[in-house]
Amino acid sequence: MGILLNNMRTTVRHSGDSALDRTIISRCKNRDAEAFSMIVDQYQARIYGFVRRMLRNTEDAEDVAQEVFIKAFENFDRFDGRASLSTWLFKIASNLCIDRARKRGRRPELVSLEPGNGEGIHDAADSRWDPQSSAVTSEMEQAIEEALAQLSEKLRSVLLLHDLEELSYEEISKAVGIPVGTVKSRLFLARNQLQQALKRYLIGEARQ
């Protein structure tokens, strides 16, 4: 399999939260710790994965991921259901990542792209890199990591939420607090910057 895939990975998307989620959410609004633990179990892997890719330091990522759920539990009464629960949690996570990076005096950077971590980033044509492909050399992985690290946190968060977490434009709009048109613009800019940074690799792949 080549570095650039022609088709997007197909996933089943659900509109809104399930009936079970809505029941759990109702209990969480009443500060039901047992119900909230179900929320944590369901979403902690995705939230931690997003935070870890936004921040360089694993310890920071663990702290921020924990803080996401603390804030969610403390503010569940503010969750109005206009966005899905996952979108709301990613909004909290995105804001906390940006705050942590600014406190550190640097922009968030991605951790190493290791096979098995679930990474997969689109190019501007909506094709995906497959980190597990034998065609992806360690040099290429390093180049992708460095290119992603050069993106601003605003571009990186939109790219990760769309291409990694597969949120829709509308969901990202709610999570990041920007218009859908701005989501599309940032996604285009992020992909374009990646393409420019990885141009020599993309040209080499095209010649294979």
Percent of the chain having pLDDT more than 70?
71
Task: Tell whether 23 is covered by a domain.
Answer: yes
**pTM summary value:** 0.71
- What is the CA angle 61-65-71, rounded to 5? 140
With beta carbons less than 8 A apart as the criterion, state whether 29 and 76 touch: yes
* Res. 32: pLDDT tops 80: yes
For the CA atoms of 169, 170, 173, 175, the dihedral, rounded to the nearest 10 degrees, stands at -100
In tens, the pLDDT along 106-127 reads: 554 444 434 334 333 333 334 4
**pLDDT surpasses 90 at 208:** no
Q: Name the amino acid, one letter, at 57.
A: N
Q: Would you say residue 185 lies in a domain?
A: no
More confident residue, 40 or 164: 40
How many domains does the chain contain in total?
1
Q: How far apart are CA 85 and CA 95, in angstroms?
A: 16
- Provide the CATH number for the domain around residue 53: 1.10.1740.10
Per the structure, the complete domain to which residue 34 belongs is given by 19-103
The more confidently predicted of residues 140 and 119 is: 140
* Average pLDDT of the residues in 126-137: 47
Which pLDDT does position 94 carry in this prediction?
A: 94
What's the pLDDT score for residue 55?
Answer: 85
In this prediction, residue 20 carries a pLDDT of 60
Domain annotation covers residue 24: yes
Average per-residue pLDDT for the chain? 76
When pLDDT is averaged across residues 158-180 and rounded to a whole number, the result is 93
Share of the chain above pLDDT 90, in %: 42
On whether residue 71 sits in a domain, the answer given is yes
Residue 131 lies in a domain: no
> Which residues fall within 8 angstroms of residue 115, CB to CB, at 6 or more apart?
131, 132
pLDDT at 134 over 50: no
Q: Which long-range contacts (CB under 8 A, 24 or more apart) does 37-42 make?
A: 39/69, 39/72, 39/85, 40/69
Please report whether residue 60 resides in a domain.
yes
Q: Residue 114: inside a domain, yes or no?
A: no
Residue 11 lies in a domain: no
